[in-house]
Structure 1
Amino acid sequence: MSLRRPRIHPLAVLLVALGLVLGSCGGGVDDTSGDGYIGGVKKITPVEPQDRVAMPELTGVDLDGNEISTADFEGKTLVINLWGSWCPPCREEAPVLREVSENLADDNVQFIGILTKDKPAAAKAFNTKAGITYPSIVDEDGRLQLAFAKSLPSQAIPTTWVIDKNGKVAARIIDDQLSVNTLTDIITWTRKSTP
């Protein structure tokens, strides 16, 4: 009797991995929503204070063409959201981001978007319609999206990072059904756990 394990072909592994990546980027079909997005993606990755690494400085231009840098918000807790107006889950989470950003506006918390794979005019129109007033940095070449590669890299669009007041990456959120309570709890945990 042979106890050999079956061999998995490398192409099968690649196809499964590719399917997971495409599914998390909204490439699937969901008959109930009609927007071409597969739900069910949820991953929250908190980082304990002693294990946090510094966030790279993000610089560029905002949707109006003005220079912007995360260094402008030194000492604040930052909530950085990778998004595009073309992205169904980004559009779905926009009201949550707007509400939490408004609720915490006076609490030394700054929201910043990273606009990826999109035109500033389309993003500006979307933000106006959604009531979003916090700035977004235009990421024309994908450089900003890759900036988190040494800490908690983006694995999907949208991805949200929470940066502590010391400029270190405290959490990454990939959640297609992000709620006000979940986001607020993660920001609160970040603030309380940061020395």
Structure 2
Amino acid sequence: MSPSLSAVDAALRETVAADGVHVVHVWAPWCDNSLNEHAPVWSDLARLGADSVTFVTVWNEGESGADTLAESGVTGVRELVVEGPKPEKPDRRLTLLGLPVSWIPTTWVFNRNGLLATAFNYGEVSAERLAEAVEGARSGW
């Protein structure tokens, strides 16, 4: 059984509070938009320069997306899985770290102080922009 939303939220809070720059990516294995980002953005995590990358799998019946990540060449990430089914559209909203998630994929970059530095929605993130956001968060913007 996957952890509850509150347990995932607590784990994320602990992660972003730790020293360093942290990337949190909210996605679902069945979501074409999420899958379209894998190879160009997430397959080479070393170039991002983040201290941690956490994928939060949502709206997938509480099932892990690790196999889908591996098939897409995304390795070396921590995955947290939120329990529960994909809700109907009017209710398809959740909150993580006090931030609304109403669209996936969503990517957040947290600075050394644990504060949100940059947020990307689908279509806004590229490997270059994400690396720039990580560097900006590290340098204190």
Shared fold (TM-score, shorter chain, > 0.5): yes
TM range (shorter): 0.7 to 0.9
Aligned match of 2:129: 182
The answer to whether structure 1 residue 83 and structure 2 residue 27 are counterparts is yes
Q: Show CA shifts across 1:87-128 (max 9, x none).
A: 1110011121232x2224xx4521001100115656121012
How far apart are the structure 1 equivalents of 2:139 and 2:15? Answer: 23
The alignment partner of 1:153 has SS state of strand
How far apart are the structure 1 equivalents of 2:111 and 2:65? Answer: 27
How far apart are the structure 1 equivalents of 2:118 and 2:124? Answer: 17
> Which of 142, 146, 149 is the equivalent residue of 2:95?
146
How far apart are the structure 1 equivalents of 2:120 and 2:132? Answer: 12
Aligned match of 2:74: 132
Q: CA deviation at 1:177?
A: 5.5
Letter of the 1:97 partner, please give it: W
How far apart are the structure 2 equivalents of 1:165 and 1:136? Answer: 21
Letter of the 2:24 partner, please give it: I
How far apart are the structure 2 equivalents of 1:126 and 1:185? Answer: 26
> Which of 88, 91, 94 is the equivalent residue of 2:38?
94
| TM-score normalised by length of structure 2 | 0.73
Aligned match of 1:160: 107
Q: Show CA shifts across 1:134-178 (max 9, x none).
A: 011111149xx41244xx422311100111121111111013263
Letter of the 1:137 partner, please give it: L
Q: Percent same amino acid among aligned pairs?
A: 20
Aligned residues: 124
Could you list the runs of 5+ residues in structure 2 that have no partner in the other structure? 1-5, 86-93
Q: Show CA shifts across 1:41-97 (max 9, x none).
A: xxxxxxxxxxxxxxxxx744xxxxxxx923256112111001001011100111212
Q: Tell me which structure has the larger Cα radius of gyration.
A: 1
Change (3 A) 1:72 1:146: closer
Contact 2:23–2:50 (8 Å) recurs in 1: no
Letter of the 1:75 partner, please give it: D
